[in-house]
């Protein structure tokens, strides 16, 4: 009987510890904008799609104005600048995506190994920076290399950021 109580107590302790590890997913700052965006753009994780006009649905449908925040700080620095990739100290392909003034360095600049412009606000979907975030880019490998791919929402934010330059 004593062994059963000890085993029960151990199980309850482990269950409590496990529930602490799971944690809370957090809160949305603007649930209505999120729901409208999610309803318009389909399931999470799907790549951005184009509409009949050939423009990205994330731009054509319109991201909520505050949905993306500061794209260089929120997306480029943590996703592209880490672990010796496109940092200021050792920029791969001479591409620094973390130092201030990133837009000025990228707009109208051709890639080193690919012929496209890194950032082309006139044709954002053809920008090398956007293309490299897609599953099968025409040139080279999908970025970020050896890290999880960006979410479809973040890819849409990068595309919107390119178009706004």
For residue 111, pLDDT beyond 60: yes
Instruction: Yes or no: say if 96 and 105 are a contact pair by the CB < 8 Å rule.
Output: yes
For 17-57, the pLDDT digits (tens) are 433 333 333 344 444 554 555 444 443 434 444 433 333 44
CA distance 86 to 81: 5
For 53-91, the pLDDT digits (tens) are 333 444 434 555 568 999 999 999 999 987 678 988 888
21 vs 100: which has the higher pLDDT:
100
**Residue 52, domain extent:** 28-163
Q: Does residue 86 lie in a domain region?
A: yes
How many distinct structural domains can be found in the chain? 1
Q: Calculate mean pLDDT across residues 110-137.
A: 95
Q: Does residue 38 lie in a domain region?
A: yes
Q: Does residue 16 lie in a domain region?
A: no
């Amino acid at each position: 009987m004593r062994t059963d109580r000890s085993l029960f107590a151990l199980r309850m302790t482990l269950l409590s510890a496990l529930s602490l590890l799971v944690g809370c997913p957090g809160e949305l700052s603007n649930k209505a904008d999120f729901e409208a965006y999610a309803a318009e753009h389909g399931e999470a994780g799907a790549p951005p799609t184009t509409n009949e006009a050939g423009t990205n649905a994330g731009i054509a449908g319109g991201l909520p104005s505050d949905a993306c925040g500061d794209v260089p700080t929120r997306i480029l620095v943590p996703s592209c600048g880490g672990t010796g990739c496109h940092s200021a100290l050792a920029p791969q392909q001479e591409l620094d995506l973390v130092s201030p003034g990133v837009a000025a360095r990228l707009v109208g600049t051709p890639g080193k190994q690919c012929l496209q412009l890194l950032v082309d606000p006139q044709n954002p979907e053809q920008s090398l920076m956007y293309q490299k975030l897609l599953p099968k880019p025409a040139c080279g490998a999908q970025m970020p290399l050896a890290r999880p791919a960006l979410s479809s929402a973040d890819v849409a934010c990068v595309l919107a950021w390119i178009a706004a330059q």
